[in-house]
Every structure is written in C-alpha cells, then in structure tokens.
C-alpha cells in the first residue's frame, strides 16, 4: 500500500521490483500473488512484469469465500545464467 500523497512517485514500482529481485536472489523459481478484482493499477503492474492470471494457488491463506473478490497470479522467475 502506498499512501495517497506518494502515489505516482514510482515508489510502488520500486517496491514491487525489489520483491521480485529478492525472490530471485533467494533462489525462488515461482512467485504467487493475489489482489482484489478491481485493483487496476496493481493488475496492470503485474501484467507488465510477466505475471499471468491463474486459478487459486496452493497454500493461499485467504478464506475460500473471498475467492470471488480476488485475482490470483503467477510469475516464473528467470534465474541468472
């Protein structure tokens, strides 16, 4: 979450990219995420960075009754050569 007066500054994108970089550095090969259905800015950012929409992923902590309100996403992390 980025407070309203900091939105548009690129801070959200920096945090997002840092999370992907840290996952890669830790050796993760997949990232799973979810966001609410109408969160267009976040869905756009996920799409711009190679995330695809999927069915509910294993280990998701949200109650199943929240499923109609969520979008589930997956990203396969390219490992450095």
What's the pTM value of the predicted model, to 2 decimals?
0.84
User: 1-35 pLDDT, tens per residue?
Assistant: 789 898 889 998 999 999 999 999 999 999 999 99
pLDDT of residue 35: 95
Nearest-angstrom CA–CA distance, 30 and 79? 10
pLDDT of residue 51: 97
pLDDT over 90 (residue 74):
yes
Q: Where are the beta strands (DSSP E) in 1-81?
A: 30-36, 52-54, 70-76
User: 45-70 pLDDT, tens per residue?
Assistant: 999 999 999 999 989 999 999 999 99
């Amino acid at each position: 979450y980025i407070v309203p007066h900091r939105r548009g500054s690129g801070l959200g994108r920096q945090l997002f990219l840092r999370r992907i970089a840290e996952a890669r550095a830790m050796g993760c090969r997949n990232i799973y995420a979810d966001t609410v259905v109408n969160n267009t800015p976040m869905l756009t950012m996920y799409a711009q960075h190679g995330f695809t929409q999927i069915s509910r992923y294993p280990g998701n902590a949200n109650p199943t009754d929240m499923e109609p309100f969520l979008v589930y996403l997956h990203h396969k992390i390219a490992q450095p050569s």
